[in-house]
Structure 1
Amino acid sequence: MDFIQGLDPSKLVLAETVLSFALSPFSAPPYNLAIFLFGTYAQENTDGVQSLRTFTGLLGASAVYDIVWMINNEQNSFVKFLTFILLLLKIPTFLAFGMALRQRGVQFGGLGGPDLSGPTVWSMPGGFTSGGRDGYQTVDEERPNHTSRPPRPPAAGPPVPAAQPPQPPLASGGYQSG
């Protein structure tokens, strides 16, 4: 762990960004450049822990995709070697960003799933949140005794059929004219 703590995450991300940019014109995984550009932002953003957590998760998942990419796609041997080097660099970078998250007091979501009790980024429309908003009733609140709509008028008896206009008599026979 001392080796991982001694690594500089910003230099690792910069090296991987440059390497993925150099591989981008060739038959290489196209998502690596976007992930490492986002990693540059996440590493420099000192306020946002969520972006650092997102980058760390994307980095770990992209390592699996790199293996699948190298198996399924034909590459030049030099490009394949550089893609493999990029894959190997992802391991210490993932560990360094995991340590950075731990130092900031954030744990990376384990197998138990995300922490749903923490602060949310968005809320359900219509006030289906625990705090309610804009006068909407929340799911947790009890229904008040009064209703917001006026009561319906009592239903009248069965409807009275309207009078039918008289029908002309049917002709009994073949063809009649006028």
Structure 2
Amino acid sequence: MADFIQALDPAKLVLVGTCLSFATSAFAAPSYNLPIFLFGHIAQESSEAIQSLQLFTALLTASGIYDIVWLARNEQNWFMRLLTILILILKVPTALAFATSLRQRGAQFGGLGIRANDLAGATVWSMPGGFTSGGGSGGYQSVDDPEPTPTPRAAAPPPANHQQQSAPGAYQSV
């Protein structure tokens, strides 16, 4: 069974789910399936989006429960009901294929995405304007760096006549 799931192509499963959801979206069918599969289509294209893939897998699994409730509470013609059931059945191997893909990438589902009780995690982002999470480039100090020790400066001698001198036409502070 595990070999069968590993042989599945998550991209093709999401594409089939997207097409089936699009076909049912104009009729009385669950309206949430198309956005979920579109999100999955975008998330699976990014090789670094582990959190997006985790979210898609969780949404897909939860929407299967909603499909069962939706089928029990709403009436459809036989063809739309058949397509909705096919989408529901398709969600099982799709969720399993994405879970296997995530496991191969090193992600885990236990603890809401926290791997090995690592609450701090690595910081891999930077803020615009020179604020960075590492290195302190641009003259800004990053949060992780220790505070630099100030260097003592010699005080400037006061002007000889103790009055503030300014250029003609310059603003003076009060």
Q: What TM-score results when the alignment is normalised by the length of structure 1? A: 0.64
Using a 3 Å threshold, how does the CA distance of structure 1 residues 71 and 7 change in structure 2: closer, same or farther? same
Which residue matches 1:64?
A: 65
After superposition, residues 150-169 of structure 1 pair within 5 angstroms as: none
Distance 1:67 1:52 in 2: 23
Using a 3 Å threshold, how does the CA distance of structure 1 residues 102 and 77 change in structure 2: closer, same or farther? same
Distance 1:28 1:73 in 2: 9
Deviation above 3 Å: which 4+ runs of structure 1?
118-121
After superposition, residues 1-178 of structure 1 pair within 5 angstroms as: 1-109=2-110, 112-113=111-112, 115=114, 117-119=119-121
Determine which structure has the larger helix proportion and give its number: 2
TM superposition shift of 1:47: 1.3
Distance 2:7 2:20 in 1: 22
Which residue matches 2:152?
A: none
Distance 2:112 2:106 in 1: 18
Using a 3 Å threshold, how does the CA distance of structure 1 residues 11 and 3 change in structure 2: closer, same or farther? same
Describe the superposition over 1:36-72 as per-residue Cα deviations: whole angstroms up to 9, x where unpaired.
0000011101111110000000000000000000001
TM superposition shift of 1:82: 0.6
Which residue matches 1:128?
A: none
> Do the aligned residues in 1 keep the contact of 2:107 with 2:113 (CA within 8 Å)?
no
Distance 1:2 1:68 in 2: 31
Q: What TM-score results when the alignment is normalised by the length of structure 2? A: 0.65
Describe the superposition over 1:101-141 as per-residue Cα deviations: whole angstroms up to 9, x where unpaired.
000001113xx5553714399xxxxxxxxxxx6xxxxxxxx
Which residue matches 2:131?
A: none
The letter of the residue matching 1:37 is L
Structure with larger Rg: 1
Using a 3 Å threshold, how does the CA distance of structure 1 residues 66 and 120 change in structure 2: closer, same or farther? farther
Distance 2:11 2:57 in 1: 13
Distance 2:32 2:55 in 1: 15
The unaligned stretches of length 5 or more in structure 2 are: 124-142, 144-174
